Amino acid sequence: MGRLYIVLFLVNLILAVAALIDCLSTEEHEIRALPRIVWVLIILLFSPVGPIAWFVAGRPQRTISSQHPSRGGTWRPGAGFPEAERPRTLAPDDDPAFLARLNKERKADEDLLRRWEEDLRRREDELRRKDDDDPKA
């Protein structure tokens, strides 16, 4: 009889750990019925009913199309990526629009710096003139 309790305890522990890992690794927006924190508390506090409830009512439903991306589902990591459907993007140094925007921003920055330097020179000249005209100095 003692061995049966040990086996039931281990099965309960494995079920709770599996449910907890599954709950914590599922995206927040995919969890059904309750928020994640409530599911974690249910799994931890109401064992073995909590983990079973998670697998029945909280876990996101998996469809056949999401398990097989070639049948029109979304791509999952590790499921491969068909070369024809691979997203194509240009590197920033090959993208003419990006380079043109950088050039435009650089010219605007240089123009702003030039105006600041001119303003600084003008203010320094005004201060020098005031110092030269001021007899108290």
83: pLDDT strictly greater than 80: no
- Domain termination site, one of 63, 84, 108: 63
Place of tokens 């003008």: 122
Length of the chain: 137
List alpha helices for 34-95, DSSP H.
36-45, 49-53, 64-67
For residue 46, the enclosing domain spans 2-63
Residues 59 and 7 reside in one and the same domain: yes
Residues 16 and 53 reside in one and the same domain: yes
The two tokens of residue 20 are: 């907890």
Q: What is the pLDDT of residues 28-77, one digit of tens each?
A: 888 888 889 999 999 999 988 999 999 998 888 776 544 454 555 565 66
Distance CA 34, CA 39 (A): 7
Rg, Å, the chain Cα set: 33
* CB-CB neighbours of 8 under 10 Å: 11
Does the pTM exceed 0.85?
no
Between 82 and 12, where is the model more confident? 12
